[in-house]
């Protein structure tokens, strides 16, 4: 609109009730400007293809549209179809590029405007703009940086694009990398990884995304912010609680300090209060949920007092070896 384009229609998606809506609504903006709005389940259905053809668009833009656009639509506009992608193509083709660059600890990313083809993100590049990634960036802050960079880039390229004199260059497919979508389950922490990698995962999926998580027993704990604790001299098993104030957890190398987190059904807490909420003690271990918690729910639960004594430890071993009991132990000295 700012660059004098006549927008025939906006196609968008319905809000997902299971998703945190943190972005502005393109439908609301279009409605306020008197632009027709559509949200088809399948934009490539012949009826919608026919309607788009009747609009006679000169050009089609796709800005984070969530479905692949088929050749039947790509072939309609004489000036082609252009897509805005949140990476410096040909790197990080595919879905969730902003989350992936953080998971992988990249120092730079960007935004690319490129021509669309039937293959995802492989068309000729019109323009790009780089964005630096700081050590404090999360997926949300990086999204905002890229949105700002995209606005500047589009203001520069839209006038020549409108006049039919925008540049285009082929992508170097030998430099291409592709990443798939991410699910909430992909946020589970593997404590065997080094501390910096775990921190990168946490900041890549922190709020408004579902979050990085781990289990202590059968309780799921979300970690919203952690800090590296480098040069750790202490030898500890990955996932082991090293201290409570602050809450520090050992990794495959070094450790992380938990700044903020919460129980799955709890509230947002600082790490030290979270440790109290979980009744943690040093030496307890966070770990992957491999189904043992579900299996243990079927077993008879036994509490043994004086578990570190001769009788207590022998009884514990006998019960555990039978596979029929879930054993909990307490001892005055441990």
Of all helices (H) and strands (E), which one includes residue 241? Answer: strand 241-244
Res 293 pLDDT > 50: no
pLDDT tens per residue, range 2-27: 999 999 999 999 888 778 888 889 99
Tokens standing for 232? Answer: 């750790």
Of all helices (H) and strands (E), which one includes residue 260? Answer: strand 255-263
The residue length of the chain stands at 334
Position 285 scores a pLDDT of: 95
**Residue 158 confidence class, pLDDT cut points 50, 70, 90:** very high
pLDDT above 70 as % of the chain:
96
Q: Pick the residue with more confidence: 138 or 295?
A: 138
3-state secondary structure of 9: coil
Position 334 scores a pLDDT of: 67
**Residue 189 confidence class, pLDDT cut points 50, 70, 90:** very high
**Residue 272 confidence class, pLDDT cut points 50, 70, 90:** very high
Residue 286: HSE in the Cβ half-sphere, 13 Å Cα cutoff: 31
Res 298 pLDDT > 80: no
Q: Residue holding tokens 């987190």? A: 261
Contact 297, 218 (CB under 8 A): yes
Residues 6+ apart with CB under 8 A from 319: 302, 325, 327
Average per-residue pLDDT in the chain?
93
Report, as an integer, the average pLDDT of 30-58: 96
pTM for the model stands at: 0.85
Residues 6+ apart with CB under 8 A from 226: 198, 199, 202, 256, 257, 258, 259
Closest to 277 (Cα-Cα) out of 258, 304, 300: 258
What's the first-to-final CA gap in the chain, in angstroms?
68
Contact 137, 173 (CB under 8 A): no
pLDDT tens per residue, range 191-212: 999 999 999 999 999 999 999 9
DSSP structure string for 79-136? T-EEEEESSSTTTTEES-HHHHHHHTT-SEEEEEEEE--SSTT-SPEEEEEEEE--TT
Helix axes 139-162, 195-205, angle to 10 degrees: 60
Closest to 258 (Cα-Cα) out of 100, 267, 245: 245
Res 296 pLDDT > 70: no
Measured between alpha carbons, how far is 8 from 11 in angstroms, rounded to an integer?
10
pLDDT above 90 as % of the chain:
85
Report, as an integer, the average pLDDT of 222-236: 88
**Residue 240 confidence class, pLDDT cut points 50, 70, 90:** very high
Position 164 scores a pLDDT of: 92
Position 67 scores a pLDDT of: 86
Position 18 scores a pLDDT of: 79
Contact 242, 234 (CB under 8 A): yes
The lowest-confidence range among 164-168, 241-245, 294-298 is 294-298
pLDDT tens per residue, range 67-99: 889 999 999 999 999 999 999 999 999 999 999
The lowest-confidence range among 45-59, 218-232, 257-271 is 218-232
């Amino acid at each position: 609109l700012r660059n004098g384009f006549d927008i025939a229609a906006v196609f968008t998606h319905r809000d997902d009730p299971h998703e945190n809506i943190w972005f502005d609504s393109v439908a609301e903006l279009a409605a306020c400007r008197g632009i027709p709005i559509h949200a088809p389940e399948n934009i490539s259905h012949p009826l919608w293809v026919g309607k788009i053809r009747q609009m006679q668009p000169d050009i089609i833009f796709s800005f984070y549209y969530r479905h692949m656009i088929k050749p039947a639509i790509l072939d309609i506009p004489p000036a082609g179809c252009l897509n805005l992608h949140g990476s410096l193509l040909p790197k990080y083709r595919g879905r969730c590029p902003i989350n992936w660059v953080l998971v992988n600890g990249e120092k730079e990313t960007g935004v690319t405007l490129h021509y669309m083809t039937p293959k995802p993100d492989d068309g000729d590049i019109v323009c790009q703009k780089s964005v630096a990634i700081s050590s404090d960036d999360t997926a949300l802050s990086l999204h905002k940086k890229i949105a700002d960079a995209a606005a500047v880039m589009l203001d520069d390229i839209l006038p020549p694009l409108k006049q039919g004199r925008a540049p285009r260059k082929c992508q170097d497919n030998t430099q291409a990398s592709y990443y798939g979508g991410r699910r909430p389950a992909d946020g589970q922490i593997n404590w065997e990884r080094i501390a910096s990698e775990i921190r990168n995962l946490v900041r890549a999926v922190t709020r408004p995304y579902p979050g990085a998580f781990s289990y202590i027993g059968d309780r799921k704990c979300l970690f919203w912010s952690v800090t590296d604790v480098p040069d750790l001299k202490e030898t500890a098993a990955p996932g082991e609680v090293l201290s409570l104030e602050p809450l520090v957890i050992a990794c495959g190398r070094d450790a992380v300090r938990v700044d903020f987190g919460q129980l799955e059904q709890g509230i947002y807490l600082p790490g030290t209060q979270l440790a109290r909420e979980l009744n943690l003690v040093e030496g307890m271990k966070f770990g992957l949920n491999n189904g043992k918690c579900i299996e243990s729910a079927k077993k008879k639960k036994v509490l043994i007092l004086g578990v570190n004594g001769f009788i207590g430890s022998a009884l514990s071993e006998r019960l555990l070896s039978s596979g029929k009991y879930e054993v909990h132990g307490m001892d005055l000295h441990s």
